[in-house]
Chains A and B, each alone.
Chain A
Amino acid sequence: MKILVCLKQVPGKDAPLRIDASQRAIRDDVPYEINEPDLFALEAALRLKEAHVKDGGEPGGEPESEIVALTVGPARASQALREALAKGADRAIHVEGAEAPQLDAYAVAEAITRAIAGERYDLILTGLQADDDGFGQTGVIVAELLGAPHATIIMEVVPVAGRALGVEADACRIRAKRELEGGRFQWVEMPTPAVLAIQSGIGKLRYATLMGIKQAKNKPLRQTTLEELGVRPSLNRQVIERLYLPPKRQGGELLTGTATEQAVQLAARIRRAIPR
């Protein structure tokens, strides 16, 4: 099967964030890394590829699956593709543009669908949401633009005897395990092509091997630009008017008295904060 994994870079986890002069974006002099949920999407794709059985052959035999990593991002985002290739993606697509960080989920989804026009993927995987803008929408919008079915918050479980984990790939249908609130789950089945937004924490992320890093250099990387695809910030359907630091939490009330007295006051405030 042909799997597209959409990933992007976000600022490093504890990088200091400063608002830039426009007051609508952060200054980009921070370290960047792949959005962690996207790494789980890549991991899901890699596990699918490993477990895919061709004509009843052994897992790990001649793989039919192809994994393509795609990113919409400025020049630095090619690093994310290199990492995906090093971990086992077969080829990559870079939709490059300096304006990429300004695009909203809809515009990014347009960029993705235009970049892959003419290609047919059985499965498109995205991370559940990005640690920067936190939209959590791009995958679902891609599904809508392609007219493909989708499901979100997809978990994966330990593989059972050679079958794929949680997403069983068959010629034209897939099954995915959806997470619901309150520790409940549900299996859903749908035809391909389909889009899945993958939940984090499905298992441990794999490391790239030295061989993988070495081979990444020679894997095909197709480059296109936002401009070529006709995607620009004017396509955005929502606009960030202002980005700002939320007011700092202030220290509140210090409760006084004996331990018992403090406890009683505290219990009252706790009850107020969490009505049952």
Chain B
Amino acid sequence: MILVIAETKASGGLNPASLEAVAAAQQLGAGPVGAVLLGGDASAVAALTASPIERLYHGQHPSLATYSPDVWVQALVQIYEQAQPTLILLAHTYQARDFAPQLATRLGGALISDVTGMKSSTVFIRPMYQGKLAAEVSFRPDIPGVVTVQIGAFNHASLRRDAAPAPVTVVNVTPDAPRLQAGEIFTEAKQAIDLSQAPVIVAVGRGIKDPKNLDMARQLADAMGAELAASRPICDNGWLPMDRQVGSSGQTVAPKLYLAVGISGAIQHLVGMRGARTVVAINKDPDAPIFEIADYGVVGDLFEVVPALIAALQSPPGAPPD
């Protein structure tokens, strides 16, 4: 069995990335898929048992109310011994990065992290050198393997379960008291914007011509739920702060969608965003290098296209297509 470690959201319920991990486990085609949830609420349990897994192992213990790596690893080791999976899989979340290497080492195995695909059931593909290169990686034979999958690399939209919800096995784990004492979770306005975590980005370049046109760009970003970013000349001019700069002298980003508005696509900029899953470009120069890497391109005047795009995004999706 491939055992997927699920994660809950701080606000309750299942983190959808865990379903992506289930989809990835299915894609491996290396046997039935099971899941393990530590603590969590009824809604998380329901979401998991409604997915195509064979069984849910539900770890329970008072100290599972708060995450700490000590407790998680001990609990998971206990469940591992019970479930005896051939492979452990989970989403590459901040939490996973915190405990998965420890779990793998404790089990005498290894963690292959940030996987974006599989070549076979034993060979995994992951990015290296900040996405410039890719590697096919496998485990040394006969050691326990843990794999984290890159968020967004696997799609859970087509997961379906025909039968009744999966059975649940409650495991009363017995971890020691955690050495880590965790305080309250709180939000804070980050002093610097971390574009590397933004799932959607609208970036503006010289084509925007004037800082007053940034309002239009902001409206577009809002309509898309995107962060606003820029190529170097915009930040050089002081029109946007330097922490919004994408490129070799700015941030490297890998969003699901990158919309480049009025950006020509000089290589210094491209190296900062080539990890984007989908690239869209609006530029009036048909020869702009950005079109060579854009999945969708619009050759046109951004001062006409962008307002029309904002309007199209703001109207209900049921509006007449194409």
Nearest chain A CB to B119's CB is how many angstroms away?
Answer: 8
Of the 9-residue stretches A61-69, A76-84, A221-229, A265-273, which lies at the interface with chain B? Answer: A265-273
Q: List the B residue with the shortest CB-CB distance to A242.
A: B136
Q: Say which residue of B197, B224, B313, B320 sits within 8 Å of A181 (CB atoms).
A: B197
Count of chain B residues near A, Cβ 8 A? 91
Q: Mark B276-297, 1 if CB is under 8 A from A, else 0.
A: 0111100000000001111111
- Give CA–CA (A180, B94) in the complex, Å: 6
- Would you list which residues of chain B between 258 and 305 have a CB under 8 Å from chain A? 259, 271, 274, 277-280, 291-301, 304-305
Q: List the A residue with the shortest CB-CB distance to B155.
A: A275
At the interface, yes or no: A22 with Cβ under 8 Å from chain B? no
Of the 9-residue stretches B55-63, B181-189, B203-211, which lies at the interface with chain A? Answer: B181-189
- Given contacts A273-B257, A274-B257, whether A251 and B280 have CB atoms under 8 Å apart is no
The SS class assigned to the A binding surface is mixed
- Residue contact A188 to B297, C-beta cutoff 8 Å: no
B192 contacts across to A, CB distance below 8 A? 201
A188 contacts across to B, CB distance below 8 A? 68, 180-183
- Give CA–CA (A75, B296) in the complex, Å: 47
A150 contacts across to B, CB distance below 8 A? 69, 102
Of the 9-residue stretches B34-42, B81-89, B123-131, which lies at the interface with chain A? Answer: B123-131
- Residue contact B97 to A264, C-beta cutoff 8 Å: no
- Residue contact A240 to B137, C-beta cutoff 8 Å: yes
At the interface, yes or no: B93 with Cβ under 8 Å from chain A? yes
At the interface, yes or no: A98 with Cβ under 8 Å from chain B? no
Nearest chain A CB to B213's CB is how many angstroms away?
Answer: 16
- Residue contact B138 to A238, C-beta cutoff 8 Å: yes
- Give CA–CA (A80, B134) in the complex, Å: 26
- Residue contact A153 to B97, C-beta cutoff 8 Å: yes
- Give CA–CA (A201, B256) in the complex, Å: 23
- Give CA–CA (A138, B19) in the complex, Å: 27
- Give CA–CA (A222, B85) in the complex, Å: 44
- Would you list which residues of chain A between 233 and 259 have a CB under 8 Å from chain B? 236-246, 249-255, 259
- Residue contact B274 to A249, C-beta cutoff 8 Å: yes
At the interface, yes or no: A205 with Cβ under 8 Å from chain B? no
Q: List the A residue with the shortest CB-CB distance to B291.
A: A251
Which residues of A approach B to under 8 Å, CB–CB?
11, 13-14, 17, 19, 26, 104-106, 109, 131-137, 140-141, 143-145, 149-153, 179-191, 201, 236-246, 249-255, 259-260, 262-271, 273-276
Q: Which 7 A/B pairs are nearest by Cβ-Cβ distance?
A: A263-B308, A237-B110, A267-B312, A259-B304, A137-B101, A252-B295, A140-B101
Offer 6 A-B interface pairs, CB within 8 angstroms, sorted by A: A134-B129, A150-B102, A190-B181, A239-B140, A251-B291, A262-B308
